[in-house]
Structure 1
């Protein structure tokens, strides 16, 4: 195992800079997820770490050694791709042991490492089969096995589950976490799926437009997002945002037409300051005495155990995730209670969180 240090790393294609001074530390044995929308630079950063892209500036270290100019094969990393990249004419055992064969390891060592990896991955009964005889999930496990047998210092995963169906993705997330808990190899994992990030990571790195917006433990990012971008990206369904201004007593904010939204304490902004009020859909509840905010219902999505309702408050969109079955219809007016302790306040201009 080894730590990974990415310090002020940049990547430019001509005059166009795609990675703009990114710094990330991955502790020894950690599972760190790079997450963000398409085009944010997360895969480019991973490829620079792997040595598949040249670095335009900055420094990358693995286990304390600068690897900027080190060949990929000499970085002691193993990468798992989205498309499996298995050799169709080789058996599963041959696929998993191919890199060891190229490294001129003995047949006995190759067989031993492949057997151990197959046991960890539940592939022991499939070693004599060919990739076309396996399901997508099994093929992805073979791709992981090919990485595990190398016993690298660092695993790199580039959206490895994106080709799988929803049910299999959930299963594979659990398996990946279980594998990491057992082998404890430092892992850097790239995904655009914030659910994968939340459920798998020790630490999440949220990226946008080639920069890091926030780094932290999953629940820290969920509870205290640094800005509206992180708040909207982390959490499913996404956080609600309402435009408002801070009231004179700073204990609440008010929308343009006077809808009052409560705060947990005094706002860290002056009275009259234009703000964005954030509240997650799961932190709304039905008001039984009609003292909550009034929402005009525009869509109702029952899922069985809960009901997801969309509508408007003072002309602004709002969603509520209610842990009950509802007979609400489009056009109804619901009164909702907001949980002040779970409210968030951001600057309307910069989008940054108020302390």
Structure 2
């Protein structure tokens, strides 16, 4: 889960062009993993698919896509303060997330170069894509007198260790949920161009194809390892990571409701649509997925998001720390309980449905 960044006033943004990201529970994190385990992966079950995707990555269909055109050559002073600040927050988090992926894939590529050349090249090209995305987002922040010192972030941020199995589950989901976020926004703005207040959104169609391609690579990695889908533990882990990613998404979207409103989107409807589509997509890779059609699913998820907003408000008040802690306890308990109840909802057996028309 993540917390919002502070929203500085327009004047403060002008006087402080170097953005300093506060690392909180909802902020995108930097990850490391067990590179020895990665080097020893047996890819034989999906080697043909991985080689085909490597050829596609080498082609680099988007190599000329992320180029700023004349549409960026204007002032953005006409944007109201709320839209401006919400958009900068979106750019900051998105840039950190893309840069986090770049660092992980770059290190995987470097560590596997001698022992697993196939994976090493795939991760090298994925790092290329993530770096391209992060750089493009950072240039967009420059239009608002804001930027991230990515080199400094590399040295100062805390790195979280995830076992490789967890990395495969979570990166697959993050890429696929990213695809649905981007394509839903892109298609909405195609129908409602009056809400396209900045040219970045025109790039989302090709952008989401990178996300989708990366997700397909991690799907192949997951399906190459039977222990990640062919036993009862894998079913439990699949549900856990789906719920974790969906809860993070719901909490973050509600924190950014102003941003989605500026695009002409209802935050709650957008959140539900992204979760439904991602859950259906995950059924092609995971052995079990969540029953998002259960009548309790979205009401409980939205209660968690509302409690998170109350937690944020408490964090920003001037009460003593002990008082804040006591105020937060029932809210944290409520979030935990609702997520636990969601986890207990009978899942959908994706393996039993594999190969059927849905």
Which TM-score band applies after superposition, normalised by the shorter structure?
A: under 0.3
Larger RCO of the pair (alpha carbons < 8 Å, separation 6+): 2
TM-score normalised by length of structure 1? 0.25
TM-score normalised by length of structure 2? 0.25
Q: Which has the higher strand share?
A: 1
Q: Which has the higher helix share?
A: 2
